[in-house]
Amino acid sequence: MQFSKRLDRFGDEIFAALNNRRMELEAQGMKIYNMSVGTPDFKTPEYIKKAVAEAAMDDNNWKYSLRDLPELLDAVCTYYKKRFDVELTPDMVMTVYGSQEGMGHLGMALCDEGDTVLLPDPCYPVFAAGSLMAGAVPYYYPLVAEHDFLPYVKGIPEEIANKAKYMVVSLPSNPVGSIATPGLYEEIVEFAKKYDILIIHDNAYSDIIFDGAFGGSFLATPGAKDIGVEFFSLSKSFNVTGARLSFLVGRPDVIAALRKLRSQIDFGMFLPLQKAAIAALQGPLDSVKEQCQKYQERRDALCQGLRDIGWELPNGKGTMFVWAKIPGGRTDSMAFCMELMEKAGVIVTPGASFGPHGEGYVRFALVLPPEKIREAVEAIRKSGLN
């Protein structure tokens, strides 16, 4: 059997080696602090679980949905106005099975073979995968400490900008933890209009942002709705990651294009899940705000702890992740992750798995309570990896 050459566009899964060794160490009795995968450990609100349970008892809700419920589209529009002060209409909204699935398919709706797209480096891997599945040619714009790990459009060569079809922007950013600064989105909108580039903004972490900063929407920027779309996710805010409750919102023609593609391979989101999304969007946000504070306490415990043992100042301004430079002049992030697991029992993600500019860094996921994070830092100190 000769499989598609498309598979050759993707690298090997780097987490397999980490996970296999983790199981071996656990079997030997070693205490493990797993801070590699961004799976929230907080509970899903009861009112969301109740909405799923009640909807699941209705036999009609087990049929093909075939469409997004009008009341769900209205709920997204109302939420965007209340939360972000952004006016949307139902033709500017569609469901996706998580931002990851949506990003994976959007490139195929937008690109032809050989089209150029602009991607951040480091970036969440599906940004690249979605482009490669479409046959597009990625140009990686670097997120570096010199520019506070933010997009720097002035550094993108004009010959690349002239032929780019879309640009992916992700703020607050996974993996690097940076957040939008005043004027940044305006600069990106101006750049997009000048070169006729669609902006695809990943807004999965607007509710996990620290030190009093406001987690907003790219679409609130004047002119953004003319040149952009945004992936909006309930996963991390409401701890519903397995339900895959996400949306693409923004320019109606882009929404229509992805909806047309999706209609060829899917019959729509399971109706009880749509009911769960409505409950989340219309429900109270107290738990979301409380959870953000708890993430900040975790961020503080980790960043202060790492600084105290000699690590460089980590970048953790938003998201449930902290981006830290490997100490001691080491440069091989995968080798460091293996050594950290072997000597300290702490599992993190190598920066190189997010792109070439991630080399020399590691990503910590804030998935342990502060006291466990302090234990993990102490284990790192005792290991001598500082």
pLDDT at position 62 over 90: yes
Residue type, 340: L
Residue 355 contacts residue 323 (beta carbons within 8 Å): no
Q: What pLDDT is recorded for position 14? A: 66
pLDDT at position 215 over 90: yes
What tokens were used for 237? 């805010």
Residue 166 contacts residue 200 (beta carbons within 8 Å): yes
Rounded distance between C-alpha atoms, residue 187 and residue 223, angstroms: 11
pLDDT at position 309 over 90: yes
What 220-225 contacts at long range (C-beta under 8 Å, 24+ apart), as own/partner pairs, is: 220/84, 220/85, 220/86, 221/185, 221/186, 221/188, 221/189, 222/186, 222/189, 223/189, 223/193, 224/185, 224/189, 224/199, 224/250, 225/86, 225/92, 225/250, 225/251
Residue that has been written with the tokens 């997004």 in this structure: 68
How large is the average pLDDT for residues 220-235? 97
How large is the average pLDDT for residues 242-255? 97
Residue that has been written with the tokens 């952009």 in this structure: 228
Q: What pLDDT is recorded for position 181? A: 94
Rounded distance between C-alpha atoms, residue 71 and residue 132, angstroms: 35
Provide the 10 A C-beta neighbour count for residue 212: 6
pLDDT at position 13 over 90: no
Mean per-residue pLDDT of the chain: 94
Higher pLDDT, 313 or 60: 60
379 — pLDDT class (breaks 50, 70, 90):
very high
CA-to-CA dists, residue 192 to 39, 56, 147, 153, 163, angstroms: 33, 44, 20, 10, 12
Which of 3.40.640.10, 3.40.50.1860, 3.40.30.10, 3.10.20.740 would CATH assign to domain 46-282? 3.40.640.10
pLDDT at position 318 over 70: yes
User: pLDDT tens, 125-164?
Assistant: 899 999 999 999 999 999 999 999 999 999 999 999 999 9
Give the three-state DSSP class for 324.
strand
In angstroms, how far is the first alpha carbon of the chain from the final one? 49
Tell me the sheet residues that pair with 363.
Answer: 323, 349
Q: Which of 319, 239, 248 is nearest to 276 (CA)?
A: 239
How large is the average pLDDT for residues 355-384? 96
Give the three-state DSSP class for 67.
coil
pLDDT at position 17 over 80: no
Domain boundaries, given as residue ranges, for the chain? 5-43+287-383, 46-282
Q: What pLDDT is recorded for position 26? A: 83
> What is the DSSP secondary structure assignment for residue 112, as one 8-state letter?
-
Q: What pLDDT is recorded for position 4? A: 86
Rounded distance between C-alpha atoms, residue 179 and residue 177, angstroms: 7
Rounded distance between C-alpha atoms, residue 264 and residue 342, angstroms: 47
Cα torsion angle, 363, 369, 375, 378, sign: positive
Report residue 175 CA to chain centroid gap: 8
pTM: 0.94
pLDDT at position 359 over 80: yes
Q: Please determine, looking at this structure, whether the domain spanning 5-43+287-383 carries the CATH number 3.50.50.60.
A: no
Q: What pLDDT is recorded for position 385? A: 85
How large is the average pLDDT for residues 253-279? 96
